Amino acid sequence: MTLVEVAAAAEPIQRPVRTIGVIGGGQLAWMMAEAAPKLGLSLVVQTPKLDDPAVARVGSAAVVQGAVGDAAVTRQLLDRVDLVTFENEFVDLAALGELARSGACFRPSLKSLEPLLDKYDQRCFLQQIGLPVPAFAAITDRAQAMQIDRWENGQPLTFPAVLKTRRHGYDGQGTRVVADRAELLAVGDQWRWQPLILEAFVPFERELAAVAARSVTGEVAIYPIVETQQVNQVCRRVIAPAPIPPTVVTHCQDIAQRLLSQIGAIGIFGIELFVTAEGQVSVNEVAPRTHNSGHFSIDACHTSQFEQHLRAVAGLPLGPVDLHCACAAMVNLLGFEVATSDYQEQRDRLAAVPRSRVHWYGKTSATPGRKLGHVTVLADNFAELQRAIDRLESIWYGLDP
C-alpha cells in the first residue's frame, strides 16, 4: 500500500470529537482513559481480553472485543466513535487502509504510520529526511548474512552490530547485539530468518528520549528531553530532565520538530535517541504513540502525555509541557518472577516514599520483565532524586531487608 492509497486517512473530520476509539487495551490506553474525562471525552477500546488494563477504566460496555490487528473488529469500533487512535503499532495497515478509503478517520494518519512500522523502512525514511541514524542494512536470508560486507551507505560492515526483527519488537524483544558473523548467523537461525535489519553498534554514553506532540494545526510541543536507563534491554528508569548539555538538548528538539513536521504527525510520538561522549546524537527508534519514557509527565508536567495525545487527536489546543518541579524520575515496576500477586505490601511501601506516586496497571499475572506498573518521584535536585530512586528500587526489586 502506498502513501497515496492511504492519504484519505489524513482528511480532517468536520464534527466535534466526543468519543475516541483506541486500538489496544493495555496500560497506555488505561492511562489515556484516566485523562479523557478532564477533556470531556470518552473512550471505546478494541482489545482481545476483558481483563486487559484499560477495561477497568472504561468499563466492559466501552469495549469492542477482538485482536488489535483485526480490521473487521476495527470496523465495529468505528461505528461507535468519531475517530480512532492507537495504543500500539502492531496493526494491519493494508486492512485499515480499506476502512480509511471508506471515510474512517485515523489519528495519527495511516500515511504517517506507514514509514515507521517496519524498522528498515523507518531507517530509510529517517535518513531520507536528513536525520542522523546508525549505518544499517536489510538482511533477507542466511546466504546474504554470510556474504554481506558493507552497510547500505557503502561503508565497510563492522562488528559488534545490532540485529533486529523488522516488525513487532519491543522492550528488548527482537533485538540482539551480535559480536561477530558467527553470532549473526546463529541468531538469524534462531529467529528463522524472518525479515531482519542489521545496524552499526553505537558506543553511546547515554540513551535519551524526546516525547513530542503535534496538533491538527501543526503546533508542536516537546516535553523535556529525558535520559532512559536500561537493564537487560528493558527501560528500568527515566530521569527528567536529562543531565546533558544545552547543545544536545537543542539537537534532540530539532530532531523531534523535523520528524513530526515532515511526517505530518497528529498525536504523541516517542523518539529514542543515542548520544555519544562527543555529543553526537542519532535516532534509535521512533514509536508513533504515547511512550514509556513519557510516563513521568503524569505527575511532573502541567500536561501529561496522555492528555496531550487526546488533545492533539481531538483537535484541541496543546497544553504546556514544562515541569512543575526541579526534576523527576519514573521507575518501571517490572516483573521479577512468575506470580499472580498484586504486590500490595510493596506498593504501600513505594507510596510511602516522599513525593512519590504509584501507578499500578492491574495486570492479573507477573512474569520476569513484564511492566506491571510504574512509580514517579519528584525532587528538588538530582542528588535527592537519586536517593529516592535507590530507595524505590530497593523496595521493589527485593534488595531491601
Cell (9 digits) for 353: 516514599
Contacts with 219 (C-beta within 8 Å, 6 or more apart), sequence order: 317, 318
Whether residues 183 and 242 share a domain: the answer is no
pLDDT at 173: 80
For residue 43, being part of any structural domain is answered with yes
In our burial notation (b when 16+ CB lie closer than 10 A, e otherwise), range 120-134 reads bbbbebbbeeebebb
Strands (E), 104-233: 136-139, 161-165, 175-178, 196-200, 206-214, 220-222, 226-231
- Residue 124 in any domain: the answer is no
Note whether 377 and 362 are same-domain residues: yes
What is the rounded CA–CA span in Å between residue 82 and residue 21? Answer: 8
Predicted confidence at residue 2, as pLDDT, reads 41
Tell me the CA end-to-end span of the chain in Å, nearest whole number: 57
309 C-beta neighbours (distance < 10 Å), count: 29
Residues 221 and 363 in one domain: yes
Total number of domains constituting the chain: 3
Across the strands, what pairs with 23? Answer: 46, 86
Residues 175, 191 contacting (CB under 8 angstroms): no
**184 lies in the same domain as 241:** no
Q: Does residue 127 fall inside a structural domain?
A: no
Strand 220-222 to strand 206-214: parallel, antiparallel, or no bridges (unpaired)? Answer: antiparallel
- Is beta strand 63-65 parallel, antiparallel or unpaired with respect to 196-200? unpaired
CATH number at residue 259: 3.30.470.20
Residue 103 lies in a domain: yes
**pLDDT at residue 305, rounded to an integer:** 99
Task: Verify that 275 and 318 share a domain, yes or no.
Answer: yes
Q: What are phi and psi of 354, to 5 degrees?
A: -55, 135
Task: Kindly give, in sequence order, each residue whose CB lies less than 8 Å from that of residue 95, ignoring residues fewer than 6 positions away.
Answer: 69, 71, 74
Residues 35 and 177 in one domain: no
191 plus 238 within the same structural domain: no
**Segments forming the whole domain that contains residue 82:** 7-113
In this prediction, residue 4 carries a pLDDT of 32
The model carries a pTM of 0.94
Q: Count of CB atoms within 10 A of residue 167's CB?
A: 15
Q: Does 119 reside within a domain?
A: no
Q: Is 192 left (phi over 0), alpha (psi -120 to 50) or beta?
A: left
The domain that contains 40 carries what CATH number? 3.40.50.20
Q: pLDDT in tens for each of the 401 residues of the chain?
A: 343 333 333 455 667 899 999 999 999 999 999 999 999 999 999 999 999 999 999 999 999 999 999 999 999 999 999 999 999 988 999 999 999 999 999 999 999 999 999 999 999 999 999 999 999 999 999 999 999 999 999 999 999 999 999 998 776 689 999 999 999 999 999 999 999 999 999 999 999 999 999 999 999 999 999 999 999 889 999 999 999 999 999 999 999 999 999 999 999 999 999 999 999 999 999 999 999 999 999 999 999 999 999 999 999 999 999 999 999 999 999 999 999 999 999 999 999 999 999 999 999 899 999 999 999 999 999 999 999 999 999 999 985 43
- Output the nine-digit C-alpha cell for 174: 527482537
Q: Point out the domain boundary residue: 185, 200, 215.
A: 200
Residue 27 confidence (pLDDT): 97
CA-CA distance, 299 to 228, in Å (whole number)? 17
Measured at the CA of 338, the angle between CA 178 and CA 163, to 5 degrees, comes to 15
CATH number at residue 177: 3.30.1490.20
Picking from 178, 200, 222, the residue at the C-terminal end of a domain is 200
125 occurs within a structural domain: no
Residues 210 and 196 in one domain: no
Cell of 132: 542522523
Last residue of a domain, one of 179, 200, 221: 200
Indicate whether 44 belongs to any domain: yes
Q: Do 54 and 142 lie in a common domain? A: no
Q: Are residues 300 and 226 in the same domain?
A: yes
Any domain includes 87? yes
Same domain (yes/no): 19, 66: yes
Q: Are residues 193 and 214 in the same domain?
A: no
CA distances (Å), 51 to each of 60, 366, 368, in order?
9, 14, 20
